[in-house]
Structure 1
Amino acid sequence: MKAELRAWAKAVRKGLDLAGLSQRVASHLARLLEAEGARHVLLYHPLPHELDPRPLVDLYPVRYYLPKVAGEGLSVHPWEGPLAPGPFGLLEPTSPPVDPGVLDLVVVPGLAFDRTGRRLGHGKGYYDRFLKDLPPRVLTVGLVPRALVLEALPEDPWDVRVRCLVTEEGVWCT
């Protein structure tokens, strides 16, 4: 079921103006960060078919971090200095890792989300393993085009839901 949903989500994204949607999503995300008083924010470097959170950096100046694949999980690194190619074609930071406990908010990519914060990822489990160990005070936010917010997604026992979704239409939290 998840494999079919992944194929469907990728097909839908091909027809979307991701650059334009990313700008609109970033403006809503900036307002959420301001409302939450977030000062330490983990973003992600997007794959070509993902919404791009990087416009947020110019809209809301705080300390940003990027994840890096580390074994079977993710490590957190300040977004400073050069980026280098990592697994899966992602650009990753070369700065030393920091304790994820410094984070106030984590922006999570996904192929699709549902209204309760379930996420359809790429199936490798990196974000689920990372999110389950975050302190409860850290707000987790999924970025997703409205066209890819579904009523319900299948859920496995290891899946970790996000607490808020940001689309081009706005923010909603569960």
Structure 2
Amino acid sequence: MSTSFNVVAVSGGAYRPSRTLALTEAIVDALSQHLQFNTHLIELGDIARPVGGALSRKELPADVEEKLAAIEQADLLIVAAPVYRGSYPGQFKHLFDLIDQHALIDTPVLLAATGGSERHALVIDHQLRPLFSFFQALTLPIGVYASEADFRDYRVTSEPLQARIRLAAERAAAVLRGNHDGAVLRKIA
């Protein structure tokens, strides 16, 4: 197995403990069952204040700039966002406003979201997918949505959600290895 894959996971929650972080970590763990990779976990809550106060990347401290560069250089992005009032949080969007618009072309992205109920499950297709379509990223056809009922003490406890996570990880691994339907993904330099 290769360890050259660079997987960056972005957890868009601003608070701890966080169901969004728990979901993100569960997806990363499931992916590790299929291949070896270098991982970088970015928690929005850790960088929310400097990101929120920046109108451009020039205003960011070096440690936050490194996190944005990691997103731009990922071989695979795992992006999870909490749902507030029917969409992802503005701070989450602003983080991606600071990403170079050409940096994610052809980058595979596994989308995930958490919400209070099943009412918000379409956030992946109606909010997150269009955001990454702008970047010309390759959003995986499968997404992972989790509601509050899928967790106990900020751990995934729902077997259907665990099965969905395993399936999404399996498919993401196949895409990352270039074996999905025989297609080989290449990043445009």
* TM-score scaled by length of structure 1: 0.44
Structure that is richer in strand per residue? 1
Structure that is richer in helix per residue? 2
